[in-house]
Structure 1
Amino acid sequence: MEGMPSPTALDLLWGTRDRPRRGPKPSLTLERIVGEAIALADAEGLANLSMQRLAERLGCAKMALYRYLPGKSELTALMLDFGMGAAPGLVDSEVVVAEDVPAEPPWRRQLRDWTVAVHRGMLTHPWMHELVVGVRPLGPNEIGWFEAGLTPLAETGLSGPERLDAIALLAGHARALAQQAAGGPGLESEMARQLAATLSARADRYPHTLAAFAEPGGPGARDNALNFGIDRILDGLAALMATRAGD
């Protein structure tokens, strides 16, 4: 209807996504527009995304896009929520472990799976690193990830702020490693090799750094950094839970 205000990002994230009712039947949908924007950002990065480039990719006039959303800021809000996808279902299923390995409590196992899923999503869409900072409109998928991460902590004795901080720590760890991995495969190993060569002539100045990088199982084998960090965060949460239970 003429005179109606343009939809906000929140309107688009949470409202109905019907096609425009006026004019000829459109060949586009909001889902197709956002999907093509995600594909463009995946291939060329967020800096190369523009409404003009997107229109060319869709084979339409640039102005046609504005029948669906007001501009790029609303587009990127939708891209983030669409790109995250639905949160994983963290079902407490039976896990087979070796006899000498103690089974993890369900909350640990579920938070581990949640964090690994966050990491995987950020690897799939590296441009999301630019969109998950600062105040922004939150869509149903992103809040669904909050819900999935908070659910395992519901009966742990932690306060609401502590539960939020816990998933913030885990998500931050996953995102930081995914961002570093965006530099390409083998980045850490190559950096370790170059640093070792640089420090070999300066061992007296940086003895502990050189020793850490030279030790077997160190930086050359840091593919385990994700799980190492998850374990340490979960250990800290377990200690806090134990303290609360004692109190």
Structure 2
Amino acid sequence: MRAEKRDAVTGAPGTDGVLDLLWRREAPPRRGPKPRFTIDGVVAAATAIADAGGLDAVSMQSVAERLGTTKMALYRYVPGRVELDALMLDAALGDPPPAAGRDWRAALTGWAGSVHARALDRPWSVELAQRPHLPGPVELAWFEVGLAAFGDLPLTGAEKLDTLALLAGHAMSLVRQQPRGATPEADLAAGLAPVLAERADGYPLTVAAFAATDPAGRDDALRFGVGRVVAGVAALVDERR
């Protein structure tokens, strides 16, 4: 079993190898035959496996089999699963779209919507994104676009980053609850209907909440949550100005 370097303070896997791969830092040339594969090719194979069977289907062995090589040979390109996960996440995010318009509210709303749409295309990426990790070049490009949306608002760097974290966290958490084509609120209401009908006296507030919900307005948690975060930032900006 391969030994894994860990950070002396946090105990987390070491980051040097991850950074080298994410940023494609040049490695010393090796003797021997020319490599059969590339790092991008290995990541593409792992991504195809995740798209078909989810993140649990990805292993160094399954990637090696897809490429028609051995697990040991794969270590020549990617040292282990930690590095592979980092590369997969950066590839799954893809380049961010340009900022939407000059209005910071619309720009942040559009940014959050883009995060949600990209995660919805590859739901398995949400688990990778929500683990502690170092952002790669593509993820940092998303930061740049998101931070540009704030313009000259009187916010600290930490407040801007926290706002992006709130928006991205909300957008990605909904992907886990809301697979493509699902209607979670409507499905929940339909599933609970028999129980609530029998035990309405025990859960009067829940019954009333579902009854008062307009079916046409359900399953819009993304818009609602993003709107509240943006409104909170606007209130803070007004207060400071």
Place the TM-score, normalised by the shorter chain, in its bin: 0.7 to 0.9
Q: In the alignment, what sits opposite 1:210?
A: 207
Report the residue type matching 1:152 in the other structure.
A
Structure-1 separation of matches of 2:40 and 2:155: 39
Give the superposition deviation at 1:129. 2.1
Residue among 82, 107, 119 paired with 1:122: 119
Distance (whole Å) between structure 2 residues aligned to residue 111 and residue 222 of structure 1: 22
Contact 1:20–1:68 under 8 Å retained in 2? no
Task: Name the residue aligned to 1:229.
Answer: 225
Residues paired across the two proteins, number? 228
Is 1:63 matched up with 2:72? yes
Aligned position for 1:112? 109
Map Cα deviations across residues 19-72 of structure 1 (whole Å, 9 max, x no partner).
965322222111011011011112111112111111111112222211111111
User: Equivalents in 2 of 1:228, 1:143: separation in Å?
Assistant: 26
Alpha-carbon distance in structure 2 between the residues aligned to 1:234 and 1:46:
32
- Name the SS for the 1:24 alignment partner: coil
Find the counterpart in structure 1 of residue 239 from structure 2: 243
Percentage of identical aligned residues: 48
**Pair 1:154-2:151 in alignment:** yes
Q: TM-score, normalised by structure 1?
A: 0.84
AA matched with 1:11: D
The answer on whether the counterparts of 2:184 and 2:219 sit within 8 Å (CA) in structure 1 is no
1:76 to 77, 85, 95: 85
Partner of residue 37, structure 2: 28
The whole-number CA distance in structure 2 between the counterparts of 1:75 and 1:141 is: 15
- Seen in structure 2, the aligned counterparts of structure 1 residues 32 and 168 have a Cα distance that, compared at 3 Å, is same
Task: Read off the aligned partner of 1:22 and give its amino acid letter.
Answer: R
Q: 1:202 to 1:37 in 2, by over 3 A?
A: same
Say if 1:201 and 1:143 are closer, same or farther in 2 by CA, change over 3 A.
same
Which residue is equivalent to 1:196? 193
- Distance, in Å, in 2 between the alignment partners of 1:207 and 1:19 is 68
Q: Secondary structure at the match of 1:142?
A: helix
Tell me what 1:98 maps to: none
For structure 2, the 5+ residue unaligned runs are: 6-15
Query: Structure 2 residue aligned with 1:88, among 97, 111, 114?
Result: 97
